[in-house]
Amino acid sequence: MEIIMAILAGILFTTGVYNLLQKQLLRIIIGTALISHGAHLFILTMGKLKRGAPPILDKTITDYTDPLPQALILTSIVISFGVTSLLLVLAYRASKENGTDNMETLRGNQND
């Protein structure tokens, strides 16, 4: 199971990086979102996908899944959510102000 998840995270990273290297601003943001998905999936995988009950305390159950990676992912999801929303607004303002959403033309001249 872990090997499939690792490959999937790898695919997410690859597509994310490919999108980051594009010229259009929105594609770049989609790239960052894919990379963060990859990273979160990766934390879950690296915490080992042993079969066990969800980490809710119950006297009849002896085996639980590892609760720590889940807490880490939850924190990381909220953070990347905040950054992504900021980035979207930033991209909207920047493309409106500069009149382009192409990273190649979004360079400006030497003196400003």
Binding site for another protein (CB under 8 A): 20, 25, 28, 32, 35-36, 38-40, 42-43, 45-48, 68-69, 72, 75-76, 79-80, 82-83, 86-87, 90-91, 93-94, 97-98, 106-108, 111-112
Contacts of 87 (CB under 8 A, 6+ apart): 29, 32
Maximum separation of any 2 CA atoms in the chain, in Å: 70
Q: Tell me the backbone φ, ψ of residue 53, rounded to 5 degrees.
A: -75, 155
Q: Is 19 or 51 the residue whose CB approaches another protein more closely? A: 19
Query: Is 60 or 75 the residue whose CB approaches another protein more closely?
Result: 75
Crossing angle of helices 2-20/25-46, nearest 10°?
160
What is the closest distance, in whole angstroms, from the C-beta atom of residue 48 to another protein in the complex?
A: 7
